[in-house]
Amino acid sequence: MSQVNKIKDVMAFVFIDDEFKGCAVIFKNENYILVVTAYHVISTAVSHMDNCFHRIKIKNENGSIYSVSDCKFCAEKDIAILYLIGGTNELNTIVFFSGTLKPETDLISKVKSKTMSMPAILYSQEQVEQHDDSCFIINVSKDILGDSSGNWGANAMEGISGAGVFLKTHQYLILTGIITSIPDEGMLAKVVCSNANGFLSLESSLKAYNDS
């Protein structure tokens, strides 16, 4: 079962002081609302002695807005979990991939940058590259990594960090990782993603999946 249409239900956007900073994945976990994103997306609001959660707002594609009550993060892996305030009725569940991705795995993501008026779908092309124990690299269409001003790579795609990367075809929404950066060779259409299993170390109640 393709997950193209389901990703909309878990896509979210991070705002700090009402400014769009990046993407995220929003979901329900037991009776809680959680968001996973890249740490650098929210670091300016949580890296001080006094966490300024009130500065962060999460908005999903349906227009609902959530406040943050707590946060866990690993700066080294560039991942963060936000705990939100609100009801879980409209939200879906996701499962976190805990194994090692095969090179031929088909992946899909939905992203929005600061220059995009609407979110766009990213499909992995060629082979998934396991970069190290904490991250992997996907190859995507070069066309989507440019903007109308002729910029390419990281300059054109500011804001896509934190977007979820999922197995393209599965009965469940299986999160394999989140986008954390576009290398300097953005023209080669490579996107770096932190492994989803890093979140399992931060929050033990998350649901894990391993197909090995």
Q: Going residue by residue through the chain (212 aa), what tens digit of pLDDT does each one get?
A: 666 778 989 999 999 999 999 999 999 998 899 999 999 999 988 876 566 899 999 999 989 999 999 999 999 999 999 999 988 878 999 999 998 889 999 999 998 888 777 888 888 887 888 777 889 999 887 666 666 566 655 566 788 999 999 999 888 899 999 999 887 655 567 889 999 999 999 999 999 998 75
Q: According to CATH, where is 2.40.10.10 located in the chain?
A: 10-91, 95-200
SS3 3: coil
What integer pLDDT is reported at residue 21 of this predicted model? 95
> Which candidate, 55, 10, 16, places its Cα nearest to that of 34?
10
CATH number 2.40.10.10 is the correct assignment for the domain at 95-200: yes
State the CATH class of domain 10-91.
mainly beta
Taking the model in full, what pTM does it have? 0.91
Two structure tokens written together for 30: 């037991």
What integer pLDDT is reported at residue 44 of this predicted model? 87
SS3 79: strand
> Which candidate, 160, 161, 164, 158, places its Cα nearest to that of 199?
164
Sign of CA dihedral 35, 177, 157, 122: negative
